[in-house]
Amino acid sequence: MNATRFFSVTYGRTLRVGRVMSPTLALTVQRAAEISAFSPEPYYTVVLDCGFPASSERIQDRMEAEQMMNACTGNAVVKSVEHQEKTEKAPALYDLTTLQRDANRIFGFTAQQTLDYLQALYEKKLCTYPRTDSRFLPDEMAETLMQHIVTAAAICGVGKLPPIQEKQVFYSAKVTDHHAILPTLSIVETDLSSLPRGELDVLRLICLGVLKAVSLPHQYAETTTEILASGFVFTVKGRTTTHLGWKEFDRAEKREAVLPELHTGQVLPIYDAQIKTGKTTPPKPYTEDTMLAAMESAGAAENAERKGIGTPATRAGILEKLVSSGLLERRKKKKVAYLIPTPLGSALITVLPEQLQSPLLTAQWEQRLKQVERGELDPEAFMAGIEAMVRDLGYLFMLSAVIWLPNSFWRTLKKCSAN
């Protein structure tokens, strides 16, 4: 509150500073700086056509790639074939954050839109409590789970249910105030055609989540083959699904590259050899999906007890506040909306003390409040520490404004304020 007053008065417009808003904004500014500083570097790969493509490692020098390409004629030999059986266990049920992330990735919904659709479904008694951070169910729900599964299958148009693995969705110790999001049993009495499109999309996504969570693991065989041609090694990878499992209900399932049966020592004809040119790419700006993931894990490396900024119930609102206050903007590129810091947002983070940009501030306060709760820390001592921090920051603010603040950032903020 003190920092918001200071920066707002100094620059003549409302500049929101908050223990969740500022670290979130700082993440986007840091990503924008990484993208701006990135210098793409070209690389080359030689690709052989042996009835299927086999690629070399990345090569930095074009002439070296051309020499490799010209040398690879006639036949190649299979150097090694490695098969690995792999398993991907079913994802847990949806909590609010994971549902918001999938809804953004699949439908392009913002976190706030998904929360609004969920709230509407909850008020219509079509889904359970939405603002949950749990992805499991308490053991006492074992008797009713099958009814929820049947309901979800009906909504998704699934006629015959696969083998159900009920036990993997129960974990009472990981259920906090509210369990994972489920469709309610009253759906069967509701005319779903009357629902707005967004609500229906989110409801079906919840139902698919239930079906995935109780399904068998996805199993596949991954094959890595090394091919030797003129002394150079080329690699080709492929995979074959052995059991679809939960991915039967995965809307993001990708087509697999399937290899023919190969064995060590097998001779393969080289039909063609080409050079493919590529460039290293910068990190991508945050989408709503990746931003929610970053907020959920922020500070994990520095603090094992408490990670993340905001809560599942507040993160959508934080993003909306940053956008509405002119510190972030949503910019669409190829149908994907990215969260980009505005010049005002970037300038604010540049002059904001590091302490107010860090997700650790919340973690430290919550840790001390736990000590107060347990009687290990005097409440007045906790408040005295906060007062001292604000006082010290106040001195720092004044020095920043009068002495340390570079003229370019001052002009940027003043210009943004004037606009």
> In angstroms, what is the C-alpha Rg of the chain?
27
Q: Give Cβ neighbours of residue 392 (< 8 Å, ≥ 6 apart).
A: none
DSSP annotation of 140: G
Q: How far apart are CA 278 and CA 212, in angstroms?
A: 37
Give the Å distances, CA to CA, from 205 to 39, 133, 152, 249. Answer: 39, 17, 10, 10
Specify whether the CB–CB gap between 163 and 142 falls below 8 A: no
Strands of the sheet containing 232-243, edge to edge, are: 267-269, 75-88, 218-229, 232-243, 53-55, 42-49, 272-279
Q: How far apart are CA 234 and CA 225, in angstroms?
A: 8
- Both structure tokens of 369: 């409040």
CA atoms within 13 A on the CB side of 21: 21
Write phi, then psi, for 170 (nearest 5 degrees): -100, 130
Write phi, then psi, for 339 (nearest 5 degrees): -95, 110
- Both structure tokens of 263: 């064995």
- Report, as residue numbers or ranges, the catalytic residues: 129
Look at residue 94 and give its three-state secondary structure.
Answer: coil
Cβ neighbours of 84 (radius 10 Å):
10
